[in-house]
Amino acid sequence: MDDIVLEVREFKKRFGAIKAVDGLDLEVRRGDIFGFLGPNGAGKSTTIRAMAGLVRPSNGEIRIFGHDVWRDRKKALSRVGMLVESPGLYRYLTGRQNLEMFAELSGGKHADDIKRALEITGLTDRADDKVKNYSHGMKQRLGLAQAILCQPELVILDEPTDGLDPQGMKEVRELIKNLAGECGITVFLSSHLLHEVEQVCTKVAVIHKGQKLADGKVSDILTKRSRIKITIDRTKDALTAIKEKGLSADISDDGCISVQIEPNSDAAEINSFLVEKGFRVSAVIPEKTSLEEFYFSIMGEYSGKADKA
Amino acid sequence: MNIVAKQIKLEIFKLSRRGRSYLGLTAMLGLAGLIVLGLAQGPPQIGGASPQGFATAGSFLNGGFAAWFMLRVTLLFFLPLFTCVVTGDMISSESADGTLRTLLSKPVSRESVYCAKYIASIIYTAALTLFMGTAAYIIGSIFLGRGSLTTFQAGTIIGAQGIYIFPETEGIMRLIGAYMFAALAVLSVGSIAFFISSMVSNSLGAIGGAMLTLIAFQIMGMFEFFKPINSFLFTAHMESWSGLFVSPIPWGQIFKSACTLCAYSAGFFTLGLIVFRRRDILS
């Protein structure tokens, strides 16, 4: 239990008649880089706002380091750095003054922490310029800098690469990996960029319309959904045989059979099965599922269920 | 330094860096200059107690009179307006800019954030009021000279009527007391703006709401129909400062007015705190 850094239990949030989040459960453990995915309006931002104590849960609770965020916010947030949506910064202050102020509120103004945060985010040269003169990307970096001030143990980032150029996005990805790897910081990352999440995160949860559709280790999810592509004669007969075996398969655009395989199943076993049935197998090529494919497949499944309902 | 003291310091720092904070100070400086310029041309009309209705020997127009007159003409509109420009902006502008989101995601309680902002508002209100008095007194003293303080009571507020003349030092002491009372009076309007500011993301709404309340209460005070509730309206007590310029000073009435104004400030502070503690921050 000590390993659990962030815990969301039965979290519900209604705004009038609208259910923004409907019974969400999440668990983030120490050292995780946790990706939080979902389309616009899925309830991601509401959940993150509740993690920051900005939104009061209608039901359920959110605990950080074992402390309820709404009832015991000072203890819950004392070791947390956050970037909630676009960075809210004082435009009439300099970047350094912003950081000094947020550092004071986070437990103390440590010159070394501020220097380090500026260095990490590449803002040292512009630290004494007023924020109103910053570009969107620089504001985003400053938002990140305030999130990593005062050596947090958990960093919650909502769309941290929003507005950054490709180089900036790459740097932020590296930063997140470093935070988790070298600094041992647990990271909770909400992003629309599936490629980014796949590259960075170790665990992921997908929500839609306020409900969790899937969660787990990224490696497990991708394996669970992995496919093999089989080049074979009498394609239609082979497809029927594979389906009769209980596997999910279809014929791809190039005329091959694409088979979804279970995590522990062996591609060689399917090959043997087809050969025994008298088919001539020319090639068996493993296909790695991307997080994007996984995401759209579960979104598709959800839409299918919703249509039937 | 505890966290609330730190936050008060930070709020004052933020106020000192915002152009809007200097709007009131600049306006008050300009008004003081305007009044002194006007006084240099001759005595003003003061309600039903025009000094032109009396035979006066020598000049009563000096720095002390400028400070007294400044308070008289600004307390019911200009001073509350420029106070509300800042107090009505304290929370709403942070909400609109998204900085409230960042601020409240730090390990600080909402109560301490709210209290620090309110205390900074009190400090600003007091500073603006005292600055106004000091500016009027100094500019007046430079261009009109110094001397005894002559005041005119029109009898509408505290019942006193006539001309009251005080030696210079006593006049200054009475002016200081009057300006302290004025700060209390203006704070009651500023607290309404602060309360509205805790609920909205548009500072114009907060400023407009407070000023509309002030004007509506002033209008209500003009009608016989509202007389039974008149003593409960803060506007009926805002001008009790003028009691400090009669002899003997009606301390009982001044105390009652001060308590009413404090009750308004405390009431709106508490209401705002209740709202702010429970409010979802969605901006």
Q: What is the pLDDT of residues B95-112, one digit of tens each?
A: 999 999 999 999 999 999
* CB A99 within 8 Å of CB A90: no
Interface test with A, best of B105, B109, B201, B282 (most A CBs within 10 A): B105
- Mean local confidence (pLDDT), B142-158: 80
Q: What is the distance in angstroms between the Cα of B188 and the nearest Cα belonging to chain A?
A: 28
Q: What is the distance in angstroms between the Cα of A206 and the nearest Cα belonging to chain B?
A: 22
pLDDT at A25 over 90: yes
Q: Do B101 and A78 touch (CB under 8 A)?
A: no
Residue of A154, A153, A200 lying closest to A173 (CA atoms): A200
Token pair 């398969």 is found at: A249
Q: Do A49 and B98 touch (CB under 8 A)?
A: no
pLDDT at B159 over 80: no
What's the DSSP call for residue B277? H
pLDDT at B49 over 60: no
Chain B residues in contact with A54 by the CB 8 A cut-off are 101, 104-105, 280-282
The SS3 assignment for B193 reads helix
Residue from the list A54, A86, A106 with its beta carbon closest to the beta carbon of B280? A54
| pLDDT value of position B57 | 57
- Mean local confidence (pLDDT), B115-140: 97
Q: Do B107 and A77 touch (CB under 8 A)?
A: yes
| pLDDT value of position A265 | 66
Of the given ranges (A48-62, A105-119, A172-186, B36-50), which has the lowest mean pLDDT? B36-50
Chain B residues in contact with A188 by the CB 8 A cut-off are none
- Exposed, middle or buried, A264 (CB in 10 Å: 0-12/13-18/19+)? exposed
pLDDT at A248 over 90: no
Between residues A2 and A286, which one has the greater pLDDT?
A286
Alpha-carbon torsion angle A104, A105, A108, A111, nearest 10: -40
Cα B210 from Cα B105, distance rounded (Å): 29
Residue of B133, B154, B143, B145 lying closest to B48 (CA atoms): B154
pLDDT at A289 over 80: no
| pLDDT value of position A10 | 96
What DSSP assignment string belongs to chain A? -TTEEEEEEEEEEEETTEEEEEEEEEEEETT-EEEEE--TTSSHHHHHHHHTTSS--SEEEEEETTEETTTSHHHHHTTEEEE-SS----TTSBHHHHHHHHHHHTT---HHHHHHHHHHTT-GGGTTSBGGGS-HHHHHHHHHHHHSTT--SEEEEESTTTT--HHHHHHHHHHHHHHHHTS--EEEEE-S-HHHHHHH-SEEEEEETTEEEEEEEHHHHHHHT-EEEEEESSHHHHHHHHHHTT-EEEE-TTS-EEEE--TT--HHHHHHHHHHTT--EEEEEEEPPPHHHHHHHHHHHHHHHHHH-
Chain A residues in contact with B105 by the CB 8 A cut-off are 52-54, 77, 80, 82, 84
pLDDT at B156 over 90: no
Token code pair at residue B159: 């019942």
| pLDDT value of position A296 | 86
Of the given ranges (A156-160, A245-249, A285-289, B248-252), which has the lowest mean pLDDT? A285-289
Q: Do B106 and A106 touch (CB under 8 A)?
A: yes
- Mean local confidence (pLDDT), B132-152: 93
| pLDDT value of position B268 | 98
Q: What's the pLDDT tens digit per position in A100-117? A: 999 999 877 678 889 999
Q: Do B101 and A89 touch (CB under 8 A)?
A: no
Q: Do A91 and B97 touch (CB under 8 A)?
A: yes
Q: What is the distance in angstroms between the Cα of B20 and the nearest Cα belonging to chain A?
A: 11
Measured at the alpha carbon of residue B125, what is the angle toward residues B124 and B126, in degrees to the nearest 5? 90
Q: What's the pLDDT tens digit per position in A136-173? A: 889 999 999 999 988 899 999 998 888 788 888 888 88
Between residues B113 and A178, which one has the greater pLDDT?
B113
Q: Are strands A248-251 and A257-260 parallel, antiparallel or unpaired?
A: antiparallel
Confidence bin at A205 (pLDDT 50/70/90): very high
Which pTM was predicted?
0.87
Cα B80 from Cα A253, distance rounded (Å): 74
Q: What's the pLDDT tens digit per position in A291-301? A: 888 888 888 77
Residue of B94, B79, B163, B196 lying closest to B128 (CA atoms): B79
CB-based contact (8 Å) between B7 and chain A? yes
pLDDT at A44 over 60: yes
Q: Do A88 and B106 touch (CB under 8 A)?
A: no
The SS3 assignment for B202 reads coil
Between residues A52 and A303, which one has the greater pLDDT?
A52
Angle of helix B3-17 relative to helix A95-105, nearest 10 degrees, comes to 160
| pLDDT value of position A309 | 61
CB-based contact (8 Å) between B1 and chain A? no
Cα B243 from Cα A30, distance rounded (Å): 67
